[in-house]
């Protein structure tokens, strides 16, 4: 059931800023597989569409196949099987230099022996564009990233953020319709990264260019993307808008990878409709949404810290008795560690004014809608093979 839904959404892109008519994506991966050694697959049965003008993020832990996917799209790797199309045309036999795709690399890959201007002019000069034209376009794009005055500096003389903006300018100056970004902000510190996220997002809106963005940083993916494809073990675990992924994760992996989550371990007692009753390991029970679980099977119940309340249960809600095990002050809010009677610990988001001390008894409650029960064995990789089948 869930598996089908995931595969479906992967096949036909969700509504995006400028959806192509007829469901045919701007970029399409059809049953793409990639293996380096013939035995294990870096990417398996990948079906993914990207709409024109969309900002799609490939999110996943390292080794999940997201970078391989990007490299196949850029033309640096060839799929072992399957087809990739760009604007309806197969790019199978197209070398990277004929694909007209802009790419931004994690380490910027600026040419150290060229000035900023020469770097940005490079894609134009290899396209045999006249000198006057080159100068004006380089000027325009350097204005866009606010680096006009650094034109004759060498990349080594610029800060990390400035170098990243040069790399952006270089990837945009030849007006590609598709820009790929491979963890472009990975080398920057947190403040600068957040600033650059906004800047990239603004460029995307301004230019209407399609961007496929690779990152392992889930907050970056949520901030910038129209849609996010969560990769795990070489396939897409879930594809959807940021709030889809955050609020309705379809697997234990996505639930724990996107945002913070409490995980309670237990066993499914009984399924009634969309909900199920879960007996927690070590005592106690909760009612949760049943996401692909079977009666009698071990399961993980995922609950967001902000969905937990420190209040007696109102009608139908789950209520768990707990003792305070610690309180972490974070300025605008606090995190309370609540140890349940069965020994499992929940993190509860509480207001900055909360003052309860260690050992104090509290009741933690939440509605069944905020609890999602996933099969326990699907925690890491199992969900992917199911997605395909």
Residues that bind other proteins (CB under 8 A): 74-76, 95-103, 105-107, 109-113, 122-123, 126-127, 170-171, 174, 180
Residue (95 or 359) nearer to other proteins, CB: 95
First to last CA, the chain: 11
User: What is the rounded distance in angstroms from the CA atom of residue 254 to the CA atom of residue 232?
Assistant: 9
Of the pair 6, 210, the CB lying nearest other proteins is at 210
Q: How far is the CB of 129 from other proteins (least distance, A)?
A: 11
Q: How far is the CB of 182 from other proteins (least distance, A)?
A: 9
Q: How far is the CB of 73 from other proteins (least distance, A)?
A: 11
Side-chain-facing half-sphere of 155: CA atoms under 13 Å: 19
Helical segments of the chain, H only: 2-11, 66-74, 116-125, 131-144, 160-172, 190-207, 218-224, 242-247, 252-257, 382-388
Residue 187 has a CB neighbour count (10 Å cut-off) of 15
Give whichever of 128 and 191 is closer to other proteins, judged by the CB atom: 128
Count the residues in the chain. Answer: 389
User: Cβ 252 to other proteins, closest distance in Å?
Assistant: 35
The dihedral sign for the CA sequence 315, 318, 323, 326? negative
Task: Provide the pairing of β-strand 55-59 with 210-215.
Answer: parallel
Q: Pick the closer one to other proteins by CB: 73 or 286.
A: 73
Q: Are 196 and 162 in contact (CB under 8 A)?
A: no
Q: Minimal distance in Å, beta carbon 303 to other proteins?
A: 42
Nearer to other proteins, 77 or 370 (CB): 77
Residue 214: closest CA among 174, 183, 176: 183
Strand (E) or helix (H) holding 104:
strand 101-104
Q: How far is the CB of 104 from other proteins (least distance, A)?
A: 9
Alpha carbon 288 to its chain's center:
25
Cβ proximity to other proteins: between 20 and 182 the closer is 182
| Residue number with CB closer to other proteins (137 or 170) | 170
Residue number with CB closer to other proteins (100 or 241)? 100
Strand order in the sheet with 334-340: 309-310, 361-366, 318-329, 334-340, 345-350
With beta carbons less than 8 A apart as the criterion, state whether 178 and 204 touch: no
Q: Which residues pair with 264 in a beta bridge?
A: 301
Q: What is the 3-state secondary structure (H, E, C) of 280-333?
A: ECCCCEEEEEECCCCCCCEEEEEECHHHCEECCCCCCCEEEEEEEEEEEECCCC
Q: State which residue, 54 or 183, has the beta carbon closest to other proteins.
A: 183
Write the DSSP symbol of residue 23: G
Query: CA-to-CA distance for 245 and 225, rounded, in angstroms?
Result: 12
Residue closer to other proteins by CB (options 74, 245) is 74
Q: How far apart are CA 350 and CA 312, in angstroms?
A: 15
């Amino acid at each position: 059931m869930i598996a089908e839904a995931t595969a479906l959404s992967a096949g036909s892109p969700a509504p995006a800023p400028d959806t192509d008519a007829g469901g045919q994506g701007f970029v399409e991966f059809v049953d793409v597989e990639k293996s380096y050694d013939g035995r294990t697959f870096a990417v398996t049965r990948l079906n993914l569409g990207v709409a024109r003008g969309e900002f799609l993020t490939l999110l996943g832990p390292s080794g999940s196949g997201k970078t391989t996917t990007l490299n196949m799209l850029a033309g640096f790797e060839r799929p072992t099987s399957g087809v990739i199309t760009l604007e309806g045309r197969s790019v199978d036999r197209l070398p990277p230099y004929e694909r007209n795709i802009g790419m931004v690399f994690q380490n910027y890959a600026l040419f150290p022996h060229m000035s900023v201007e020469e770097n940005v002019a490079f894609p134009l000069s290899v396209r045999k564009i006249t000198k006057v034209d080159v100068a004006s376009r380089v000027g325009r794009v350097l204005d866009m990233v606010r680096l006009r005055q650094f034109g004759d500096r060498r990349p080594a003389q610029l800060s990390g953020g400035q170098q990243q903006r040069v790399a952006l300018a270089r990837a945009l100056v030849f007006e590609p319709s598709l820009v790929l970004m491979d963890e472009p902000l990975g080398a920057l510190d947190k403040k600068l990264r957040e600033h650059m996220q906004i800047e990239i997002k603004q460029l995307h809106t301004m230019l209407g260019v399609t961007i496929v963005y690779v990152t392992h940083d889930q907050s970056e993916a949520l901030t910038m993307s129209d849609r996010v494809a969560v990769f795990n073990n070489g396939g897409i675990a879930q594809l959807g808008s940021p709030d889809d992924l955050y609020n309705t994760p379809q697997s234990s992996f996505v639930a724990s990878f996107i945002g913070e989550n409490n995980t309670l371990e237990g066993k499914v007692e009984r399924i009634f409709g969309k909900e199920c009753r879960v007996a927690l390991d070590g005592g106690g029970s909760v009612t949760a949404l049943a996401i692909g679980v079977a009666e009698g099977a071990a399961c993980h119940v995922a609950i967001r810290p902000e969905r937990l309340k420190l209040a007696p249960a109102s009608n139908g809600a789950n209520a768990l008795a707990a003792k305070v095990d610690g309180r972490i002050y974070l300025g605008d809010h606090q995190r309370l560690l609540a140890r349940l009677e069965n020994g499992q610990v929940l993190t509860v988001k509480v207001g900055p004014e909360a003052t309860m001390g260690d050992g104090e008894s509290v009741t933690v409650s939440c509605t069944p809608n905020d609890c999602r029960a996933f099969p326990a064995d699907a925690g890491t990789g199992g969900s992917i093979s199911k997605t395909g089948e």
